[in-house]
Amino acid sequence: MAVETQAIKRPISFSAPVIGAAGGFAGIFVGAANGSSLMGIVLGFVILAVIGFVALALLPDSMEKTVRAGLVALMGIAGFVLGGLPGLVVGLLFGWVFGWFIYWLGMGRYRVPLPPYLTAGQVLWHYSFRVICGAIFVFLITPILVVMPLSFNAQDFFTFTPEMLRFDPEGYSLKHYRDFLTSADWQHALWNSLKIAPLATLLAVGFGTLAAIGLSSEHVPFRRAIMAILISPMIVPLIISAAGMYFFYSRIGLQGTTAGVILAHAALGIPFVIITVTATLVGFDRSLTRAAANMGADPVTTFFRVQMPLILPGVISGGLFAFITSFDEVVVVIFVGSANQQTLPWQMFTGLREQISPTILAVATILVGISIALLATLEMLRRRSERLRGMSPG
């Protein structure tokens, strides 16, 4: 259990270099934008170290709010001079962050939430680990953040125009979203995705849930081998699965049909359902089903009235994963489907390969929004499942 400690002001010999190092890190990006990363590092280190020294060693602590406000204003002005309106936004953000960081570090507030017995090295690793995780998150999320504003580009370009960089309203438009909503090809692809993904999800949820319940029983022979076979579509490279499905479906007459695409996507979604439902069944109390049987309930009634309400969060979570898998999949549908089953990801792939349509950016932004909504739903279901299993407070 963490024990709070009292914040103690740190020596300026420690605070100033660390603050300067943070400024040098920020200077990499500012310097790169102005043609010299090395100069940005040096100036960033010197400027932030001086500001930290002045704020912590020369000015009284009671002026913290004034110093932080002044730093926001100063960096905002500097950003506007160097980069116009975008530079102003970045400068204001930098000023707010560094104003908080100077006093958070210099006043020793970083030690408050940590146990007092931690060594300096352990404290360094505690915050370094979080910085590393944050950097990885930024690295992963940046491509998505770049696509979203580009979808509002008033021009048919895949790059930021000068008008967009100046935040000129003339540089932004909803034309690509209108193209998506009015284009017959895009609407046909959207309809195919909305038709195929829900049906594939229903099949995946039905078969995956039954398989998970059956494999959770210890008396099932070779259940580990069966489990490995059922989740193999997650492990085998998708191109191999797609090629195998193509040859198999072509022999049984399902290649190039909607039913074939639905069955193929269901096969890809079943492993997600099995894994999530199996994880939910780990905390399931088997005595509940025995008690229901003793009360005269048949197996079907026991499943729907006793077992299903408790494992429902896992079932829905697996269904959402299966839906996302089907809705975003393109390799298998290219092999198994035909032009009549062209889905939204397939249309996006065609747009990149043949005509470089910026409408793809609008569609990608819509898909990101849908994915965020589904992931938020998954998180809520996960927490509800933990509460039902007694793993977290209500």
Under a CB-based contact definition with an 8 Å cutoff, are residues 312 and 385 in contact? no
Q: Other CB atoms closer than 10 Å to residue 155's CB: what's the count? A: 14
Residue 40 lies in a domain: yes
Which residues lie below 8 Å from residue 382, measured CB to CB, with a gap of 6+? 313, 317
pLDDT, residue 33, reads 65
Under a CB-based contact definition with an 8 Å cutoff, are residues 172 and 148 in contact? no
Residue 98 lies in a domain: yes
188/332 same-domain check: yes
Chain segment 12-53, per-residue pLDDT in tens: 888 899 999 988 888 887 777 667 778 888 888 999 999 999
Given pLDDT bands bounded at 50, 70 and 90, which one contains residue 4? very low
Under a CB-based contact definition with an 8 Å cutoff, are residues 179 and 362 in contact? yes
Boundary-marking domain end, from 117, 132, 158: 117
Using DSSP's 3-state secondary structure scheme, residue 63 falls into helix
pLDDT, residue 389, reads 58
Residue 166 lies in a domain: no
The predicted model gives 366-371 an average pLDDT of 84
pLDDT, residue 1, reads 40
Q: What is the DSSP string of 243-311?
A: HHHHHHHHHHT-TTSHHHHHHHHHHHHHHHHHHHHHHHHTT--THHHHHHHHTT--HHHHIIIIIHHHH
Chain segment 188-198, per-residue pLDDT in tens: 888 999 999 99
Show the tokens assigned to 104. 């958070």
Residue 155 lies in a domain: no
198/113 same-domain check: no
Residue 139 lies in a domain: no
Boundary-marking domain end, from 67, 96, 117: 117
Chain segment 268-301, per-residue pLDDT in tens: 999 999 988 888 877 666 777 778 777 777 777 8
Tell me the H-state helices in the chain: 12-33, 37-53, 64-106, 120-150, 162-165, 175-182, 184-215, 223-230, 232-235, 238-252, 258-281, 287-294, 299-302, 308-328, 331-336, 344-350, 359-388
pLDDT, residue 225, reads 86
N- to C-terminal Cα separation, the chain: 21
Has residue 203 got a pLDDT over 90?
A: yes
Boundary-marking domain end, from 74, 89, 117: 117
Residue 122 lies in a domain: no
Has residue 307 got a pLDDT over 50?
A: yes
pLDDT, residue 266, reads 92
Specify the CATH number for the domain of residue 214: 1.10.3720.10
Has residue 2 got a pLDDT over 60?
A: no
Q: What is the mean pLDDT of the chain?
A: 84
**Nearest in space to 90 (alpha carbons), one of 143, 32, 26, 21:** 26
Residue 131 lies in a domain: no
113/188 same-domain check: no
Residue 156 lies in a domain: no
Q: Residue 86 sits in which domain range? A: 12-117
Burial of 217 (0-12, 13-18, 19+ CB in 10 A): exposed
**Structural domain tally of the chain?**
2
